[in-house]
Copies of this chain bind each other. A is one copy, B any other.
């Protein structure tokens, strides 16, 4: 078996378990059972649980942002594309295994205990904010930096609200708020 296959299998199991139950609640033996790999092999590729958690978060970050980017790319650049972020969130919130933000959950658990995990979470949030900044720039808004920060707050707020309430409605509320933050000119990308 290839190294990449092994790591993929391990992270598939780790992601499912860590995301559903939390990191601390899942032991390495449970990852072993779910992945079908031996403990020895797991520790060959991830020298400690902390490394595995970090790898889980970094892979999820790439996939999560890629899925979001892929979704909004289908809309024309500008205001619509910004709002499409919240449509994508709404779909995600409705998935049966949705359990909030994996990064915020991990940060809450291990933020003070693991610098590596905390850094991975910070980087994820910074990347998302960067992505939102690009959308804000494309929409030719007055203050793209401010809008990016505000969108980031709305996105995270919607995620945690949806997780706690158990309904995807927060995405619609956040979308409506975002609409109020973006000047609704007819063709915002042409300048004025």
Contact = CB atoms under 8 A, between A and B. Distances in A.
Nearest to A21: B112
Given A150-B177, A177-B150, A25 B109 contact: yes
Nearest to A121: B164
Interface stretch (A29-37, A64-72, A97-105): A97-105
Interface in A82-140: 99-101, 103-113, 121-122, 125
Interface string A136-173: 00000000001001101111111011011100011001
Contact of A181 (B25, B122, B180): B180
Main SS of chain A's interface residues? helix
Contacts of A99: 111-112
Interface residues of A, number: 45
A188 interface: no
Interface string A168-192: 0110011011001100000000000
B111 A108 contact: no
A153 B158 contact: yes
B177 A153 contact: yes
Interface of A: 20-22, 24-25, 99-101, 103-113, 121-122, 125, 146, 149-150, 152-158, 160-161, 163-165, 169-170, 173-174, 176-177, 180-181
28 contacts: A20-B112, A22-B24, A22-B113, A25-B109, A25-B110, A100-B108, A103-B164, A104-B164, A105-B109, A107-B164, A108-B108, A122-B164, A122-B165, A125-B165, A146-B176, A149-B169, A153-B157, A153-B158, A153-B161, A153-B170, A153-B174, A154-B157, A155-B157, A156-B160, A160-B160, A177-B177, A177-B181, A180-B181
